[in-house]
Chains A and B, each alone.
Chain A
């Protein structure tokens, strides 16, 4: 039982991460290319993760996924179009800098929302997790 529960919980966390990642992709496609608007998608994606997280492990696992998903999507798109994924992966700063920025932005944003909910909606002082009540309310 415990194992099944653990697996279900893992899948839920992955699901949250990808869900937020897809939101990030959609935002990227919808927003203009100009700075600073393109900084918003990973922040909003991370924010979604933070909001949906029930415990610390939730957002720690899901937030990086939301940051990485747009790049997995890009690699799949390249591959499906016959473009060179190998070169995509060897492009140094051009790929890795946005990836790192997206990753850090998602994680930081998830943490901000998660901790804010903890502070402003109540919860355990020591663990830093959200209030049990809040999680329960979300169902």
Chain B
């Protein structure tokens, strides 16, 4: 009895504590629910084999194959859209929800105070308004009747799943962790996701950064650093002859731009641009350069790596008429990149200048616009911020000018205009790509592709190949700012404009036919890698092209491997040889003699000079090269750029001044410290840093890693993917984007997928995905494709054949 009573009391106390424990935290309460908690919803999601979908006109069968790829068998296009909506929601609902909320400035409703600033910036950008206007335009215009119906059908599919999930406890685990539920889907949500992608790929602050440089260095910097000419860059097309002119040129003095306030306001948005866009590769080779005489299209968009991936792979069989396969963006009803049995297409971002900033003369809250005083219009955005079980409403005023939203901060005020700010029809264009029967259909559909301009490369089964960088390129009223180094500087859009004088106002867009393009070029191929579109051309397109290294490596490989087969194209796509490393190590060698260096720098430098430039995980030279180049770039440009991001000038600027230093003359040399001294200290610091951090010179795979994270992965780490050694670099075809700080580096962006489409009469696609098709963390397809992606392998998918059925799901009409 003496022993038993204390034991009883202790046990009862333990039980009471355990029962009270969940009351200490809502998260604990949710997690502690052992079998009805987050773990079991997956079972219901995965085993779902029958569901009712609103609006469906006939039964739709969905077969999941051994890769977790759904094959949709529908009788018509609208039922296919409903089915796509349903399975997008089944496999990626949280991702879709997060994307629409981000675009619409509504993340705080889900995540609370932490995302309030982001929501304010996106309300300022107005993507939610542009998406709504686009939907109303599509819905009310009979020309787009089919596309409107597709958006509505897709919405029915998504909402059917949401209703089912709410009723049967099949919501993704993220909702359970956040104690939240999704709202119904709308067509505006789908368009918001498209708008966000367009914004991320084309909105820019470069005019403001350039204005800051001009304020400090005068117009001369534009000439001295060849900012607008970019003569080191290699164009996709040498020239494109059209009659276009720049229009009447106004005259002005160079103003003092004073942009720092607005730069401060907008700089927080740069991180969201990284969510989607950093670059891409694509190329098409005609039958004249392939082993089997049939064209091949290849495409690998370089976007952020996330868990789950940006893309969702799907196969659609619609009646007996259509077989499609490719990559969808969850939340949108189209195959954005892919093929059908007639055509295949791929995109890379063009990266033109489609954002402008305008300043005004002010009189209180009135601004002088084109010689007329106008009042500001105020819109108050109500942002709901989650707090406890409810919401706090934050009112955020947005001032509007006739041009666009007014960016006000730190005493400076600029109006912003972006081509995506109003109605844009890229969804219409892509939906028509899905059902094109030839490159001529693609060209016709490309007229509707507005924002963000994309380098469309394509081929059809007739053997035609196509390049068309479709998009809206604004034409402005140009203004001459004066002479610099004997050259007249005419602002066509690369610097802010004085809107009070009517400068820079948009007068239209480059006519579709006058956009540089190529059909069946003599060379037999077209490659693009975000490099300059065209050499000789009368219109201003922009200047912020990606460096040429990836592009030139692709061309080099196509030329050396032709005639090509699928394996050759795969080899090009996963190539890790850095042409930039070849260029820079050669320049280093001409500037700095290894014999002038003590050990251990001499050995490290010698190995760099003898390197084969392959950035594989075992390379011990790659870390030295990368750190040296980063250090050198910072030393050369840090003082010039000051608060402007260091990658505003890309590696080609560093290459330019190194070449000028070797040549003994050049206008860029006045802006940078002694390149030889900078190189030597950059190398020494790189080697010191690596030795200090790793004890010995490390392999590249130790320095750079695939650490692909879920949006909630910082808090719930098991949602993140497994970690793998990295490879490739900033300028390899198999690209690896990373930060410019100290190692180790996390690959923040890379090939968001790889796809190769042979136009050989099949409906084949060879592909790789950095993750898996499912967003369900317990699905065998959550990250099953990642090891193959890292190992540079490809999976084959033939939409013309029957899949191996692993699981099936029947969708039935309601009633």
Residues of A within 8 A of B7 (CB): 111, 115, 128
Taking CB atoms, residues of chain B closer than 8 Å to A108 are 11-12, 14-15, 18
- Bound together, the chains give a CA A42 to CA B32 distance in angstroms of 12
A38 touches B8 (CB 8 A): no
Report the bound CA distance from A25 to B778 in whole Å.
21
Name the residue in A25, A81, A83 with the highest tally of chain B Cβ atoms < 10 Å from its Cβ: A83
Minimum CB–CB distance for B474 against chain A, Å: 49
**Is the CB–CB distance between A88 and B778 below 8 Å?**
yes
Specify which chain A residues have a CB less than 8 angstroms from the CB of B33 in the assembled complex.
Answer: 33, 35, 38, 98
Main secondary structure of the interface of A (DSSP, over half): helix
**Which residues from B are CB-within-8-Å of A98?**
31-35, 37
Determine if A101 is an interface residue (Cβ-Cβ < 8 Å).
Answer: yes
Q: Complex Cα distance A3/B7, Å?
A: 32
**Residue B194 CB within 8 A of the other chain:** no
Chain B residues near A82: list those with CB within 8 A.
46, 780, 806-807
A111–B11 touching, CB < 8 Å: yes
Whether A61 sits at the interface, judged by CB under 8 Å, is: no
Shortest CB distance A54–B (Å) = 16
B interface residue count range (under 10 / 10 to 19 / 20 to 34 / 35 or more): 35 or more
Instruction: Provide the residues of chain A in CB contact with B18, threshold 8 Å.
Output: 39, 101, 104-105, 108
Q: Is B46 in contact with A35, judged by CB distance below 8 angstroms? A: no
* A116-B47 Cα distance, complex, nearest whole Å: 44
In the assembled complex, B29 has its CB within 8 A of some CB on chain A: yes
Are B717 and A92 neighbours in the complex by a CB distance under 8 Å? yes
Say whether B4 contacts A88, CB under 8 Å.
no
Q: 1/0 per position for A100-139, CB-CB distance to B under 8 A?
A: 0110110011011001101100000110100000000000
Residues of B1-40 whose CB lies within 8 A of A: 1-5, 7-8, 11-12, 14-15, 18-19, 21-22, 28-29, 31-40
Q: What chain B residues lie within 8 Å of A101 (beta carbons)?
A: 18, 21, 32, 34
Closest to B6 in A: A115
Per-residue contact bits, chain A 28-68, to B (CB 8 Å; 1 contact, 0 not): 11010101101101110000000000000000000000000
- Contact, CB under 8 Å: B39 / A125: no
Q: Are A35 and B22 in contact (CB under 8 A)?
A: yes
Residues of A within 8 A of B12 (CB): 108, 112
Distance, CA A99 to CA B779, complexed state (A):
21
Separation in Å of the A91 CB from the closest CB of chain B?
A: 4
B773-786 interface bits toward A, Cβ cutoff 8 Å, 1 = contact, 0 = none: 00001111010000
How distant is A124 from chain B, measured CB to nearest CB, in Å? 9
B-chain residues with CB within 8 Å of residue A28 when the two chains form the complex = 34-36
Compute how far the CA of A125 lies from the CA of B40 in the bound complex, rounded to whole angstroms: 45
Q: Is the CB of B34 within 8 A of A38?
A: yes
Across the interface, do A125 and B2 meet the contact criterion of CB distance under 8 Å? yes
State whether the Cβ of B169 lies closer than 8 Å to any Cβ in chain A. Answer: yes
Q: Which residue of B lies closest to A85 (CB)?
A: B778
Cβ contacts under 8 Å, A99 to chain B: 34
B718 proximal to A (CB < 8 A): yes
Contacts of B28 in A (CB 8 A): 97
Residues of B within 8 A of A35 (CB): 22, 29, 32-33
What is the distance, in angstroms, from A16's C-beta to the closest C-beta of chain B? Answer: 18
Interface residues of B in 708-750 (CB under 8 A from A): 716-718
Write out the residue numbers on chain A whose beta carbons fall within 8 Å of the beta carbon of B716: 94
Bound CA span A41–B777, Å: 26
Contact A125 B3 (CB under 8 A): yes
- Given the known A-B contacts A77-B43, A83-B46, A84-B782, are A70 and B4 also in contact in the complex, defined by CB atoms under 8 Å? no
B42 interface residue (CB < 8 Å to A)? yes
| A11 within 8 A of partner (CB) | no
Minimum distance in angstroms from B30 CB to a CB of chain A: 9
CB distance from A13 to the nearest CB of B (A): 19
- Contacting pair B11 A115 (CB below 8 A): yes
Q: Which of B5, B8, B782 contacts A87 (CB 8 A)?
A: B782
A72 sits at the interface (CB 8 A)? no
Please, which residues of chain A bring their CB within 8 A of the CB of B43? Answer: 77-78, 81, 83
Given A70-B34, A83-B42: A43 in contact with B15 (beta carbons within 8 A): yes
CA distance A42 to B14 in the complex (A): 13
Shortest Cβ gap from A24 to chain B (Å): 9
- Cβ-closest chain B residue relative to A111: B11
Question: Which residues of chain B are near A92, meaning CB under 8 Å?
Answer: 717-718
Q: Are B31 and A88 in contact (CB under 8 A)?
A: no
Contact status of A112 and B15, CB under 8 A, knowing A83-B778, A94-B37, A97-B31: yes
Q: Is the CB of B3 within 8 A of A36?
A: no
Whether A39 touches B718, Cβ cut-off 8 Å, given contacts A97-B31, A125-B1, is no
- List, in ascending order, chain B residues with CB within 8 A of A111's CB: 7-8, 11
B352-375 interface with A by 8 A CB criterion: none
Contact A36–B8 (Cβ < 8 Å): no
Most buried by B among A29, A41, A102, A111: A111
Assess whether A97 is in contact with B32, with CB atoms less than 8 Å apart. yes
| A88 B39 Cβ-Cβ under 8 A | yes
Contact A94:B11 (CB < 8 A) given known A84-B778, A84-B780: no
* Bound Cα distance from A53 to B28, whole angstroms: 32
Chain A residues positioned under 8 Å from B15 (CB to CB): 43, 105, 108-109, 112
Task: Name B535-572 residues within 8 Å CB distance of A.
Answer: none
List the B residue with the shortest CB-CB distance to A129: B4
Q: How far is the CA of A81 from the CA of B776 in the complex (A)?
A: 13
Q: How far is the CB of A20 from chain B (nearest CB, A)?
A: 15
Which residues of chain A come closer than 8 Å to B779, judged between CB atoms? 83-84
CB distance from B237 to the nearest CB of A (A): 48
Q: Which of B161-206 contact A (CB under 8 A)?
A: 169
Q: Is A7 an interface residue (CB 8 A)?
A: no
In whole angstroms, what is the CA distance A109 to B11 when docked? 7
Q: Are A87 and B777 in contact (CB under 8 A)?
A: yes
Of the residues A74, A115, A126, contact of B35 by C-beta under 8 Å: A74
A-B contact pairs, 19 of them (CB 8 A): A29-B35, A35-B22, A35-B33, A36-B22, A38-B34, A81-B43, A82-B780, A83-B779, A83-B780, A87-B777, A92-B717, A98-B37, A101-B34, A104-B18, A115-B8, A118-B4, A119-B1, A125-B1, A128-B4
**Chain A residues engaging chain B, CB cutoff 8 angstroms:** 25, 28-29, 31, 33, 35-36, 38-39, 41-43, 70-71, 74, 77-78, 81-84, 87-88, 90-95, 97-99, 101-102, 104-105, 108-109, 111-112, 115-116, 118-119, 125-126, 128
Known: A92-B717, A97-B28, A109-B15. 7 other contacts (CB 8 A): A25-B35, A29-B35, A33-B33, A74-B40, A82-B780, A83-B43, A112-B15
Binding site for A on B (CB under 8 A): 1-5, 7-8, 11-12, 14-15, 18-19, 21-22, 28-29, 31-40, 42-43, 46-47, 169, 716-718, 777-780, 782, 806-807
Q: Which A-B residue pairs are the 9 nearest by beta carbons?
A: A98-B34, A33-B36, A28-B35, A91-B718, A111-B11, A108-B11, A108-B14, A83-B778, A115-B8
